[in-house]
Amino acid sequence: MTPKAPSLFDLKIVGPAIGESFKKLDPRLMVKNPVMFVTMIGATLTSFAVFNTPNDRSFIAQLAVWLWFTVLFANFAEAVAEGRGKAQADSLRKARKDTVARRLRNGTEERVPAPELQKGDTVVCEAGDVIPADGEVIEGIASVDEAAITGESAPVIRESGGDRSAVTGGTRVISDRIVIRVTMEKGHGFLDRMISMVEGAKRQKTPNEIALTILLSALTIIFLLVCVTLKPFGIYSGVDFSLPVLIALLVCLIPTTIGGLLSAIGISGIDRLIRRNVMATSGRAVEAAGDVDVLLLDKTGTITLGNRMASAFLPAPGVQAERLGDAAQLASLADETPEGRSIVVLAKENFNLRGRDVAQPHAKFVPFTAQTRMSGVDFPANGGVARSIRKGAVDSMRTYVDGLGGQFPEPVVKTVDEVSRSGGTPLVVVEGREVLGVVQLKDMVKGGMKERFAHLRKMGIKTVMITGDNPLTAAAIAAEAGVDDFMAQATPEAKLKRIREEQAAGHLVAMTGDGTNDAPALAQADVGVAMNTGTQAAREAGNMVDLDSNPTKLIEIVEIGKQLLMTRGSLTTFSIANDIAKYFAIIPAMLMVTFPVIAPLNIMRLTSPQSAILSAIIFNALIIIALIPLALRGVTYKPIGALAILQRNLLIYGLGGVIVPFMGIKAIDVVITTLKLI
């Protein structure tokens, strides 16, 4: 699925969102957001004041209307964010058609509706069947179309045993037959969790969101106090502040901008994550991702391609490299392992040796067996054996050559050692009893890894490679991939210990992995990203699942986490900084009638006290709408260091927050005056 967001104000989303904004006026829902709740109470009181006050009715009515708009705009922001998630949930729901499962019980098959399946049941799926529930393949191998959840049309292989055994309910088997043990009951499956996540139904406030809400609530209480005490001060000074005016001042001062957009920011964060095909089980994990500073990566399949590949031909003294390549290619033509195929490819690339027609009836392939621990090919000449090529590990080849009465040359032994030391695997090639040389097999580092790790370093994240290899090999690969640190000969216990140590040192640890042996570490890590191709155990243990199974997706996850916090921080700064301009609009307006001398404070030269107050309130409402796109998109994150980011955001949202409202309020005042609304 491409990370393409629907247009910001898609009619399909905006339409229902407008309806939702009114539904959300329910006080029981509003009370969860103290800032907007206070605004709503203010709007209600002002509405009553319209009927109770004999004069200035038009002014108070307009004030009331805009106060209601402020509340509605905030609700609208939340509804739009939810709407975007809902659109996605609907497409997911289509995948969750209730199917009929073929349950195996005591060896016989019976058909039951999928919702009746229990944890531990076994079901059969054949080509064309929809997998009825999340589970683990316990028998067979099949290609599965997971487009329903990943959006990727290419089918994936799922087989019993190993690291590719997990299947997801709602996906479809394309070929073959598998037996699945159900691991999740209906309603708690992967797809269900995904739907509830995007819909925001189970959204809980994250720790930083809670802290920010407290800050905003406390500010609201303080400003409430300011406005309440202003009344007696006014009485003393002989100024009668009317209730609507005090409410207007209060609503302008309390941080409505951030208060109104806070939940929209949170929802859109999760939404953005899902657009990148990452499923988070909690918003907390997304937020934690922004703080991650140590990343543990499983080597195999993550940093490297996971298969050893031929990388060089190292001929014995006196042997042409091309002859070695030719022999190695011939010996590998029938070898269907990735290693065998890579030798064929390397010979083709290095010596332009095309794959020859080896299907000739005379060629006889010798497959790898546990006893001989070598493979090769024999070309029978008329009557005898013309060419006999073998390849294998150094020990078995030495025995083989010795057995034929040949000599194992010393320089080849040296080459073998060197290859081992550099992190590769040596494969000795012999023709007849002559040792031709060594094929160096190496675990290939995936393309672009170095740049990705450099990017992570710039973000302040240390990368640690985890591998079961010996330290020598591990060091060589670590250097090639450009990770900061590595951990060799890692057992599940060692991984867990490492994570605990990093955490004790105050780090926040992220871990990516796919195997069952990664599960404990994934569970212990603050952010555990399991690959969708991984085992069910791994997917259960982590708090995020990457549907694309791309380990460096973590970069994007971290960026989204950071964006989430940055957007909140920037809008809070903006919101608080706005107060300065609003003071300059409202305070002179409130005092002008009694103390005309204060006129110089009206630095914006607003037309009249009433237009000043109304302009400030209108600005306050409109700014929420204006900032919805930013809240949904998030503030851009660049890995340029914390200080540079702070300076940039402080300039844009701090200084901008001081200046923008001056211009905005003045502009609105001009419009109001021109339209003669006051």
Partner 1 sequence: MFTYAILRLQYLLPLNPQHLGPLSPDLAFNTAVSFTTNTNWQNYGGESTMSYFSQMVALALHNFASAAVGIGLAAALVRGIARHSAKTLGNFWVDLVRVTYYLLLPICLVFAVFLVSQGMIQNFKPYTQATTVEGATQTIVQGPMASQVAIKMLGTNGGGYVNANAAHPFENPTPLSNFIQMLSIFSIGSGLTYWLGRMTKNQAHGWSVWTAMMILFLAGVLTCWWAESAGNPIHHQLGVAAADGNMEGKEVRFGVFNSALFATITTDASCGAVNSMHDSFTPLGGFVPLFNIQLGEIIFGGVGAGLYGMLVFVILAVFIAGLMVGRTPEYLGKKIGAFDVKMAMLSLLVLCLSILGFAAWAAVSEWGKAGLNNAGPHGLSEMLYAFSSATGNNGSAFAGLSGNTPWYNTTLGIAMLIGRFWMIIPIMALAGSLAQKKVAPASVGTFPVHGGTFVILLLGTILLVGALNFLPALALGPIVEHFQMLQGKLF
Q: Which is nearer to partner 1, 169 or 234 (CB)?
A: 234
Contact call for residue 485 and partner 1 (CB under 8 A): no
| Residue 436 and residue 327 in contact, taking contact as beta carbons nearer than 8 Å | yes
- Read off φ and ψ for residue 530, nearest 5 degrees: -95, 145
Cα distances (Å, whole numbers) of residue 65 to 47, 163, 255, 672: 8, 60, 19, 15
**Kind plus residue range of the DSSP H or E element containing 512:** strand 509-513
Contact call for residue 642 and partner 1 (CB under 8 A): yes
**Minimum CB–partner distance for residue 33 and partner 1 (Å):** 16
Contact call for residue 127 and partner 1 (CB under 8 A): no
Q: Which is nearer to partner 1, 157 or 214 (CB)?
A: 214
Q: Which is nearer to partner 1, 375 or 563 (CB)?
A: 563
Query: Binders of partner 1 among 410-439, rule CB under 8 A?
Result: none
**Minimum CB–partner distance for residue 628 and partner 1 (Å):** 19
**Selected binder of partner 1 within 234, 244, 266, 513 (CB under 8 A):** 234
Contact call for residue 367 and partner 1 (CB under 8 A): no
Point out which span in 37-45, 346-354, 546-554, 591-599 binds partner 1 (CB under 8 A): 591-599
**Selected binder of partner 1 within 172, 186, 276, 562 (CB under 8 A):** 562
**Selected binder of partner 1 within 134, 192, 287, 431 (CB under 8 A):** 287
**Selected binder of partner 1 within 37, 66, 69, 223 (CB under 8 A):** 223
Query: Binders of partner 1 among 645-664, rule CB under 8 A?
Result: 645-647, 649-650, 653-654
**Minimum CB–partner distance for residue 83 and partner 1 (Å):** 26
The packing angle between helices 256-275 and 609-633, to 10°, is 20
Nearest by Cα to 584 from 567, 603, 558, 597: 603
Structure tokens at 496: 């867990």
**Minimum CB–partner distance for residue 644 and partner 1 (Å):** 9
Query: Binders of partner 1 among 28-57, rule CB under 8 A?
Result: none
Nearest by Cα to 601 from 617, 615, 585, 614: 585
Which residue out of 134, 192, 298, 443 is catalytically annotated?
A: 298
Q: Which is nearer to partner 1, 480 or 526 (CB)?
A: 526
Structure tokens at 509: 């640890």
Q: Which is nearer to partner 1, 408 or 653 (CB)?
A: 653
Site string for partner 1, 449-468 (x = CB under 8 A): ---------xxxxx------
The runs of H, that is alpha helices, within 394-541 are 394-403, 410-421, 449-458, 471-481, 492-504, 519-524, 536-541
Q: Which is nearer to partner 1, 69 or 653 (CB)?
A: 653
| Residue 490 and residue 496 in contact, taking contact as beta carbons nearer than 8 Å | no
- Read off φ and ψ for residue 604, nearest 5 degrees: -85, -5
What gap in Å lies between CA 390 and CA 436, rounded to an integer?
10
Nearest by Cα to 80 from 9, 31, 22: 9
Site string for partner 1, 289-328 (x = CB under 8 A): -xx-x-----------------------------------
Contact call for residue 573 and partner 1 (CB under 8 A): yes
End-to-end C-alpha distance for the chain, whole angstroms: 53
**Selected binder of partner 1 within 597, 605, 674, 675 (CB under 8 A):** 597
| Residue 672 and residue 602 in contact, taking contact as beta carbons nearer than 8 Å | no
| Residue 404 and residue 435 in contact, taking contact as beta carbons nearer than 8 Å | no
**Selected binder of partner 1 within 274, 328, 565, 604 (CB under 8 A):** 565
What gap in Å lies between CA 673 and CA 140, rounded to an integer?
78
Residue 298 falls in the annotated catalytic set: yes
Q: What is the CA radius of gyration of the chain?
A: 34
**Minimum CB–partner distance for residue 219 and partner 1 (Å):** 7
> Which amino acid type is present at position 540?
E
What gap in Å lies between CA 236 and CA 597, rounded to an integer?
18
What gap in Å lies between CA 196 and CA 74, rounded to an integer?
23
Q: How many residues bind partner 1 (CB under 8 A)?
A: 76
**Minimum CB–partner distance for residue 267 and partner 1 (Å):** 17
Contact call for residue 601 and partner 1 (CB under 8 A): yes
What gap in Å lies between CA 580 and CA 658, rounded to an integer?
7
> Which amino acid type is present at position 225?
L
- The answer for residues whose C-beta is within 8 angstroms of residue 301's C-beta and 6 or more apart is 163, 514, 531, 551
Contact call for residue 630 and partner 1 (CB under 8 A): no
**Selected binder of partner 1 within 463, 563, 611, 615 (CB under 8 A):** 563
Site string for partner 1, 238-277 (x = CB under 8 A): -x---------x---x------------------------
Point out which span in 136-144, 533-541, 569-577, 663-671 binds partner 1 (CB under 8 A): 569-577
**Kind plus residue range of the DSSP H or E element containing 322:** helix 321-332
Q: Which is nearer to partner 1, 245 or 347 (CB)?
A: 245
**Selected binder of partner 1 within 141, 174, 226, 475 (CB under 8 A):** 226
Q: Which is nearer to partner 1, 379 or 583 (CB)?
A: 583
Query: Binders of partner 1 among 493-532, rule CB under 8 A?
Result: 504-508
**Selected binder of partner 1 within 168, 637, 668, 678 (CB under 8 A):** 637
Query: Binders of partner 1 among 181-220, rule CB under 8 A?
Result: 207-208, 210-212, 214-215, 218-219
DSSP class of 356: P
The packing angle between helices 609-633 and 243-253, to 10°, is 30
Structure tokens at 656: 């901008």
What gap in Å lies between CA 205 and CA 207, rounded to an integer?
7
Cα distances (Å, whole numbers) of residue 315 to 325, 427, 670: 9, 11, 86
CA angle 62, 63, 65 (to 5 degrees): 65
Q: Which is nearer to partner 1, 287 or 480 (CB)?
A: 287
Q: Which residues are catalytic?
A: 298
